[in-house]
Structure 1
Amino acid sequence: MSTSKVVILITGGAGFIGSNLCEYFLNKNYHIRVLDNFSTGHRHNIDSFLTRDDFELIEGDIRSLDDCVRACVGVDYVLHQAALGSVPRSINDPITTNDVNVSGFLNMLVASRDAKVKRFIYAASSSTYGDSKSLPKVEDVIGKPLSPYAITKYVNELYADIFSKTYGLETIGLRYFNVFGRRQDPNGAYAAVIPLFVKQLMDLQSPVINGTGEYSRDFTYIDNVIQMNELAMLTDNPVACNTTYNTAVGDRTTLNQLVGYLKEYLKVYDGRIANVEINYGPARQGDIPHSLASIDKAKDLLGYKPSHDIEEGLRESVNWYWENLK
């Protein structure tokens, strides 16, 4: 391993967000180490990196403290992305969700503390806002969690805060709002809505919207998330550390609007997609009606400036899916 480069450990680095972080920071001349058990990530996301001297893969599980300790040796920064996502998955299997998202998170904090990493940046979640009705969502105003998943992500924030205060480990939590983009998996029972809808429309199948379609989300393109991770990692503003930030665009889109955008951008490739009907089903348990982030804190303390709005991000995503799924 080259000792001259800054070493970043990306947990869950074979996943959607993790692999995009790998690619970005490899191109920025960092040494990247990945810890992943491939439970939700894919080898094909990191295949092109495996022959590089500045990339390491540790196949392991954050539920194993030994694996976490091994992964943290010589690491400067941790970008902790490993987790079991999905509200429905957590409702179906709260125990495994807790084991990965809470016990695994604590293992990573302990290993990072003991390895004296410079900073621990972790994927927090907009689900932490729970039943709070206020819009836009501001970091210090949250409600009660609405799912086991939301509980685990809130507990992550509490543990990170304690490790900052008790052990001096610098932590920054990034509350991701409905991230989408290249490499997001359209397959599986817990596929996110955008890749799922894109694949269905490409196959001329009718997407099913849960509820009336008027629920809204602050859909956030992957490049904005990468920017936030980099800003959180490199900030030298002491006030910017040991806190959480909304990682979003600061705008919201209804599911009906979302499908409209997708049909518009996909019909360029296949005109039949414009006529695919949309079906509606019951609202999903644990879903919040509306999600909209204030990004003022990230702008003020980190200098965040989103590079992509929803339409720009969807255009790029649709192009990527058409080239890679067809």
Structure 2
Amino acid sequence: KTPLLTHAANSTGFLNMLTAAKEAEVKTFVYASSSSVYGDNTEMPKYEDKTGNPLSPYAVSKKTNELYAKTFNSAYGMKTIGLRYFNIFGPNQSPNGPYAAVIPLYMDALLQNKAGKFFGDGEQSRDFTFVENAVQANVKAMLCENKNAFGEAYNIACGYKTSVKELYNILKEAANSDKEAEICPPRTGDIRDSLANIDKARKNLGYNPEIGIKEGLEITLKWFKKEFYTVLD
């Protein structure tokens, strides 16, 4: 809704950080990109070299940042590594606010014995990735000595997809709820499916996601109940 502000914060801000890091002779510059750079490319799984047309100013800004980072690597020899996160979840995610993610929203609803919402048939799928896997990727990137890794962007995910319906059922069981999801009309602009190929990150960074979605959801739900619903315990 505010493309100028998006550009100022994401792209101009990013270029300022790159420039400052270059001047400070930072050893390695690791930055957050996004799976949104795949845009209208519907191929599955997503490979890093096959991005589509961005579908939002936010996605444009993330793609722009990748180009800047790649250029700083080739022009100035700066060691840059971009991480394209796929649906990161875990403790400390809030169910409040306009950008609340689906997992904390479902947890919040089910722990109050309310129904979560499917925008569509619930068969939409995502490559949900527990936050500790993302942390591992950042540490691997920060310590990377592989010269072939720099100037590139990498998918950070688990490499398998889970439907929204499957996700809801896992959480429903874990929360001891019998609430069926409320079916709502599909939302314009929502991506139907998302799945990452993580071979490049495995090869160049040594990335190896260790916590799967079910274990990650159990950890997150335990934290969520303690943080928001201690009375239920």
Shared fold (TM-score, shorter chain, > 0.5): yes
**1:106 equivalent among 15, 18, 21:** 15
1:23-77: per-residue Cα shift (whole Å, max 9, x none)? xxxxxxxxxxxxxxxxxxxxxxxxxxxxxxxxxxxxxxxxxxxxxxxxxxxxxxx
2:93 alignment partner, SS class? coil
2:189 is matched with which residue: 269, 272, 286?
A: 286
Residues 240-291 of structure 1, C-alpha deviations (whole Å, 9 max, x = no match): 1110110000000111111001111111xxxxx2x21311222223222111
From 24, 28, 50, give the equivalent of 1:115.
Answer: 24
The answer as to 2:45 corresponding to 1:142 is: no
Q: Which amino acid aligns with 1:178?
A: N
- Hey, what does 2:79 align to over in structure 1? 170
- Who is 1:323 aligned against? 226
Contact kept? 1:210, 1:280, Cα under 8 Å: yes
- 1:299 has 2:208 as partner: no
Given the superposition, is the C-alpha separation of residues 235 and 290 from structure 1 closer, same or farther in structure 2, using an over 3 Å criterion? same
- The list of structure 1 runs, each at least 4 consecutive aligned residues, that deviate by more than 3 angstroms after superposition, is none
Aligned length: 229
Using the aligned pairs only, state the percent identity.
Answer: 48
**Conservation of the 8 A alpha-carbon contact between 2:124 and 2:192:** yes
Counterpart in the other structure of 1:180: 89
Unmatched 5+ stretches in structure 1: 1-91, 268-272
Aligned to 2:122: 213
2:37 aligned partner: 128
Structural RMSD (CA): 1.1
What's the CA shift string for 1:189-211, capped at 9, x where partnerless? 11011111111111122212222
TM-score normalised by length of structure 2? 0.95
TM-score, with structure 1 as normaliser: 0.68
Q: Bigger relative contact order, structure 1 or 2, given CA contacts below 8 A and separation 6+?
A: 2
Contact 2:39/2:54, CA 8 A, preserved across alignment: yes
Distance in 1 between residues matched to 2:186 and 2:6, nearest whole Å = 22
Mapped partners of 1:108, 1:286: distance in 2: 31
- After superposition, the C-alpha distances for 1:90-118 in whole angstroms (9 at most, x for unaligned) are xx332322221111111111111111111
Q: What letter matches 1:301 in structure 2?
A: N
Contact 1:147 1:286 in 2 (8 A): no
In the alignment, the residues of structure 1 paired with residue 61 and residue 152 of structure 2 have an alpha-carbon distance, to the nearest angstrom, of 17
Contact 1:208 1:280 in 2 (8 A): yes
In structure 2, the gaps of 5 or more residues are none
- Quote the Cα distance in structure 2 between the aligned partners of 1:241 and 1:196: 37
Q: How does 1:10-29 map onto structure 2 within 5 Å?
A: none
